[in-house]
């Protein structure tokens, strides 16, 4: 049972005196020029929506990231939208862990004006991560760093293409509770190793590791030391999951960019038993605007032939061997959807319909013939039994 944090007036979060805890052995007397992290620690606070709007009123140019532990998008998607609507900032990145979706393509949870990248468990509910990137930002999914390791962790990673500065890497992670921390750190090393010191990174999510215990728990210390070795430091320094008897810091946003002032904190909401965490960087954020685009499923002779071939090879034990007709149907849909996404994936394609719209030489007749030509080149295929 977690504390109802629907109103900040009903609960004084600062009364827990979290300043007694330190994730980086903070010393206020150290020279902040030589110890950049000292400028980050004091900025992390709890906010209700009114306090957040006042605090961020003049700070909307920096990169903004917010992370929600949803504990099922099906149950809390609309609550997340409502919370975002109460804030005066349109976040560049919305990260969500514990989506509990069963497919990497989940259109029912799309957000207007955002590109969405999901990573779900295979054939099972629970876990799952998603990144929503504002569609004004040109970004690319990094497949090699978007992985699901069953009973260990899930991760989805994108690269933001920037102008006049290095590209940014943003990841959302969810570590399964009870998963071996040492093995998790090894997997994390593989994901982060080839981008070490090259690009700015923001790694957010629910790590299920209480970093407030870094002085008393060896595996927690190992995790933090591992993150520090990549120059990644936590921007959230107060508990994110508060119950009647416990307060743990398991949700966070790590970054290797500490040259600029960061406004970080936690939102007081009752969406789930985790508080949303956010970070807004003080530096000017200049992205490369995305080309107008849309998403299409790649269906042609090659992709459908591969799909049909693998469908014919399936024996469907989870479908034929299940007595419950509803479960049998769900298993079939799940397996078919995975095969469809494997062989006929949904990909982002540039929308070139209006590329020459302003050219005076392009007459209506030429436009009509161009559309007809495009229509002839598209393959219309029907999947047989």
- With a CB cutoff of 8 Å and minimum separation 6, the contacts of 147 are 119, 154, 155, 191
Q: How many helices (H) and strands (E) does the chain have?
A: 8, 18
- pTM (2 decimals)? 0.69
Q: Where are the domains of the chain?
A: 8-281, 293-377
Distance, CA of 149 to CA of 305 (rounded, Å): 29
Gyration radius of the chain over CA positions: 23
CA-based max dimension of the chain: 75
Given a cut of 70, whether residue 1 has pLDDT beyond it is no
Q: Band of the pLDDT at 319, cuts 50, 70, 90?
A: confident
Q: Band of the pLDDT at 134, cuts 50, 70, 90?
A: very high
Given a cut of 80, whether residue 49 has pLDDT beyond it is yes
Distance, CA of 280 to CA of 40 (rounded, Å): 12
Least confident of 76-85, 167-176, 347-356: 347-356
Are 255 and 245 in contact by the 8 Å Cβ rule? The answer is no
Q: How many of the other CB atoms lie within 10 Å of CB of 289?
A: 12
What is the total residue count of the chain?
385
The stretch 202-212 carries a mean pLDDT of 95
Question: Which CATH code is given to the segment(s) 8-281?
Answer: 3.60.10.10
The stretch 39-48 carries a mean pLDDT of 74
Are 240 and 277 in contact by the 8 Å Cβ rule? The answer is yes
Residue 275 CB-half CA count within 13 A: 32
Provide the pLDDT for residue 2: 42
The stretch 190-213 carries a mean pLDDT of 86
Distance, CA of 278 to CA of 264 (rounded, Å): 6
Distance, CA of 203 to CA of 157 (rounded, Å): 9
Beta bridge mates, 69? 97
User: Any idea what DSSP says for residue 176?
Assistant: P
Q: Band of the pLDDT at 17, cuts 50, 70, 90?
A: very low
Mean of per-residue pLDDT scores for the chain: 79
Given a cut of 70, whether residue 288 has pLDDT beyond it is no
Q: Calculate the dihedral angle through the C-alpha atoms of 233, 238, 243, 244, rounding to the nearest 10 degrees.
A: 150
Given a cut of 80, whether residue 13 has pLDDT beyond it is no
Which helix H or strand E contains 370, and what residues bound it? helix 364-377
The structure tokens listed for 158 are 């994108």
The stretch 283-289 carries a mean pLDDT of 60
Side-by-side strand order, sheet with 129-134: 45-47, 262-267, 277-281, 64-69, 93-97, 129-134, 114-119
The stretch 359-363 carries a mean pLDDT of 64
- With a CB cutoff of 8 Å and minimum separation 6, the contacts of 235 are 40, 44, 252, 253, 254, 255, 262, 264, 277, 279
Given a cut of 70, whether residue 73 has pLDDT beyond it is yes
Q: Per residue in 218-248, pLDDT tens?
A: 999 999 999 998 889 999 999 999 988 999 9
């Amino acid at each position: 049972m977690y504390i109802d944090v629907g109103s900040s007036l009903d609960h004084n979060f600062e009364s827990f005196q979290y300043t007694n805890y330190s994730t980086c052995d903070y010393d206020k007397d150290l020279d902040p020029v030589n110890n950049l992290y000292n400028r980050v620690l004091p900025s992390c606070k709890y906010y209700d929506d009114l306090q957040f709007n006042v605090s961020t009123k003049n700070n909307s140019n920096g990169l903004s990231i917010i992370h929600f532990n949803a504990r099922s998008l099906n149950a809390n998607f609309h609550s997340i939208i409502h919370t975002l609507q109460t804030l005066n900032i349109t976040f560049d990145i919305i990260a969500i862990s514990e989506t509990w979706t069963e497919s990497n393509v989940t259109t029912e949870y799309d957000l207007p004006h955002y590109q969405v990248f999901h990573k779900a468990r295979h054939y099972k509910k629970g876990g799952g991560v998603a990144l929503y990137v504002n569609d004004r930002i040109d970004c690319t999914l990094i497949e090699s760093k978007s992985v699901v390791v069953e009973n260990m962790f899930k991760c989805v990673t994108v690269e933001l293409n920037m102008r006049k500065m290095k590209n940014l890497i943003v990841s959302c992670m969810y570590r399964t509770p009870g998963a071996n921390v040492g093995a998790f750190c090894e997997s994390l090393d593989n994901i982060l190793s080839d981008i070490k010191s090259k690009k700015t990174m923001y790694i957010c999510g629910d790590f299920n590791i209480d970093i407030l215990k870094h002085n008393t728990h060896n595996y927690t210390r190992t995790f933090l030391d591992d993150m520090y070795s990549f120059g990644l430091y936590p921007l959230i320094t107060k508990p994110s999951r508060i119950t009647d008897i416990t307060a743990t810091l398991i949700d966070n946003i790590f970054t290797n960019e500490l040259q600029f002032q960061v406004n970080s904190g936690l939102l007081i909401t009752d969406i789930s038993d985790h508080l949303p965490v956010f970070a807004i960087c003080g530096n000017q954020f200049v992205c490369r605007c995305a080309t107008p685009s849309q998403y299409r499923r790649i269906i042609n002779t090659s992709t459908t032939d591969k799909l049909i071939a693998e469908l014919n090879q399936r024996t469907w034990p989870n479908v034929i061997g299940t007595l419950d007709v509803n479960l049998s149907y769900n298993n079939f849909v799940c397996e078919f959807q995975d095969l469809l996404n494997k062989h006929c994936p949904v990909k982002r394609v540039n929308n070139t319909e209006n590329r020459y719209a302003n050219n005076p030489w392009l007459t209506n007749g030429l436009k009509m013939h161009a559309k007809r030509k495009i229509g002839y080149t598209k393959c219309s295929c029907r999947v047989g039994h």
